[in-house]
């Protein structure tokens, strides 16, 4: 997890292109990739096909932009305040990760499916997970080097296990989020157990102040 220096870099636009992308996300999630057309996206955005084409060259172009937005959402979710103790960084990061996955599960499912047939989507899918895992592994290595964590398995295996649990919990929460807090807490406790850590507020900070 990266530590925060000021505000999160995640940006959001308010122009026509963002309106089109927001509409496209809803349509892709509702209809799937194959059935979605530019006409569907234009209608959902309250716009026209020529207007959509003035911003994006194709349906594929729109989807790539959406996939990149989702990837950036996960990256920005890893930015952590410097003052948090290690266990609280894990709690915050895990909860954000699960929250973002639940919020984007429709698009993520489509990205994963498209990655099987399209090399560009495959690269983006792998890059997204590599970035998440890479930051996660570097953070856990810091914990291990400082004697805060005593991992029960290789760090790469722990990162993959956490990813798998997040994906499964997001599926369970897709119909109802009533159990979100409980599953988020379960995720954190599993993560801490895999790292050989007990959650407490008096653990030393890993990130120095600047």
Position 112 scores a pLDDT of 86
Classify residue 3: in a domain, yes or no: no
Clarify whether residues 141 and 103 are in a common domain: yes
What global pTM score does this model have? 0.79
Clarify whether residues 122 and 192 are in a common domain: yes
For residue 28, what is the domain's CATH number? 1.10.10.60
Question: How far apart are alpha carbons 71 and 138 in whole angstroms?
Answer: 19
Range of the domain at 16: 11-56
Classify residue 40: in a domain, yes or no: yes
Mean pLDDT per 10-residue section of the chain, whose length is 210 residues: 36 71 94 94 96 94 90 80 85 94 92 84 84 89 93 96 96 93 96 84 42
Clarify whether residues 27 and 106 are in a common domain: no
Q: Which of left, alpha, beta for 199 (phi over 0: left; psi -120 to 50: alpha)?
A: beta
Position 5 scores a pLDDT of 34
Position 84 scores a pLDDT of 83
Position 104 scores a pLDDT of 92
Clarify whether residues 138 and 70 are in a common domain: yes
Clarify whether residues 40 and 134 are in a common domain: no
């Amino acid at each position: 997890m990266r530590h925060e220096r000021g505000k999160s870099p995640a940006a959001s636009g308010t122009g026509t292109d963002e309106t089109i992308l927001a509409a496209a996300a809803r349509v892709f999630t509702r209809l799937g990739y194959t059935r979605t057309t530019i006409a569907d996206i234009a209608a959902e955005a309250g716009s026209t096909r020529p207007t959509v084409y003035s911003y994006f060259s194709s349906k594929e172009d729109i989807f790539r932009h959406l996939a990149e937005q989702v990837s950036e959402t996960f990256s920005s979710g890893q930015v952590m305040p410097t003052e948090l103790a290690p266990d609280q960084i894990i709690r915050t990061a895990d909860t954000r990760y699960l929250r973002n996955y639940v919020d984007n599960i429709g698009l993520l499912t489509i990205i994963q499916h498209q990655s099987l047939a399209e090399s560009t989507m495959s690269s983006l899918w792998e890059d997204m997970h590599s970035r998440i895992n890479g930051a996660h592994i570097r953070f856990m290595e810091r914990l291990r080097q400082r004697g805060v964590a005593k991992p029960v398995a290789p760090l790469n295996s722990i990162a993959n296990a956490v990813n798998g649990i997040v994906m499964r919990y997001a599926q369970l929460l897709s119909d109802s989020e009533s159990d979100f807090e409980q599953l988020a807490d379960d995720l954190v406790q599993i993560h801490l157990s895999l790292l050989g850590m007990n959650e407490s507020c008096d653990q030393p900070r890993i990130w120095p102040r600047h």
